[in-house]
Amino acid sequence: HANMVALYYLGGFIYDVTAYFFTALMLYLYIRVRSQGMVLSAMQSAGVLLAYVAALNSKEIAVVGAGWILAYEVLLGRPRKLLLPLIMMAAGVVFSVGKMTGSGSLAQEPGYQTDLSLHRYFLNNRIYVNDLLYTGFFNFTAGRTLVIAWIILTLACWRLRKPEAWWCWFVVSTATLGVSFTVFPRSGPSLYLPLLGWALLISVLVATLFPRPAWRWSAAALVAFSFSYQTVHLWNQRTQPFLDDVRGVSSLIAQLRDLGKQPAPHTSAIFLNTLLPDYQTYFIARLAWK
């Protein structure tokens, strides 16, 4: 995804990758059993709960995962087994309260301050939808456009009358809740987990609308081509700043090696000129000189 290139170049986004992984693992462990009409064993329940905790420990946006499990059980569970989903919901609430209140809470950090208003919700989610679906040309610049799109999606799910479609509707409607009210919008790589929700929704819509396998594969290929075209088209301009930064790192490492020697232990080195920030130069030199 061209708007998520930082996932590939910046180690700081490992938290988004692991939040995605553990949330997807949680869904797989749960749905694999419940879709067959079976009840999770104690060990299986523990696995789902541990995956959820790992997702929470990865990044706060994963808190919505408990709601996804509860919605699946309400819409598709036969017979309904609500104990584990409710336990997960309680864990998510405790986690959220801890992040929002108390001394040193995350919500007090400048980059995580929240504005609990409809204006902020629509402002952020217009950015998120455009980033996720390459829909800049649809001009999601007004709240009413976002509302109209959501109504159309709701009517489509109502027309299909499939609980799987309603579940995916709930997933995409809640996927960005963790970042819907932040004063500083998250975009690009921070939307990796919501991208999973949209992938699930598109898959279910294709499988529902096209009963024949050949039609499904054709529709899937068309969607894949559309997204791939946008990605290839935008990839170079999105990656260039990261490539420039990498070249600076490579250049510094080469210059250090070209010196032919390294400082002896417990001595100091002075860098008179470097193109990289001081802290990067410091850590790269320590690694290169062991």
- Please give the share of the chain, as a percent, with pLDDT higher than 70: 97
The predicted structure's pLDDT at residue 136: 64
The predicted structure's pLDDT at residue 237: 83
Rounded to whole angstroms, how far apart are CA atoms 104 and 214? 55
Average pLDDT taken over every residue of the chain: 88
pLDDT tens digits for range 124-170? 888 888 888 887 655 666 677 888 888 988 998 898 889 999 999 99
The predicted structure's pLDDT at residue 45: 96
Rounded to whole angstroms, how far apart are CA atoms 165 and 161? 8
Q: For residues 100 and 155, which has the higher predicted lDDT (pLDDT)?
A: 155
Report DSSP letters for 153-222, one per residue: HHHHHHHHT-HHHHHHHHHHHHTTGGGSSBSS---GGGGHHHHHHHHHHHHHHHHHH--SHHHHHHHHHH
Chain centroid to Cα 152, Å, comes to: 24
Res 56 pLDDT > 90: yes
A 10 A CB-CB count for 261 gives 6
Which residues are 114's β-sheet partners?
Answer: 182
Nearest to 101 by CA among 91, 112, 90: 112
Q: Is 82 helix (H, G, I), strand (E, B) or coil?
A: coil
- How far the first Cα of the chain sits from its last, in Å, is 36
- Please give the share of the chain, as a percent, with pLDDT higher than 90: 41
Q: What is the mean pLDDT of residues 6-26?
A: 92
Which residues are 182's β-sheet partners?
Answer: 114
| E-assigned strand segments in 172-270 | none
Region label for 44, one of left (φ > 0), alpha (ψ between -120 and 50) or beta (otherwise): alpha
Q: What is the mean pLDDT of residues 206-235?
A: 90
Token reading at 79? 């017979």
Amino acid at 120: R
Residues 6+ apart with CB under 8 A from 153: 169, 172
pLDDT tens digits for range 243-254? 887 788 888 888
Token reading at 154? 């709701």
Amino acid at 94: V
254 HSE (CA, 13 A, CB side) = 6
Query: Structure pTM?
Result: 0.83
Query: DSSP label at 137?
Result: G
The predicted structure's pLDDT at residue 141: 66
Nearest to 125 by CA among 200, 182, 167, 58: 182
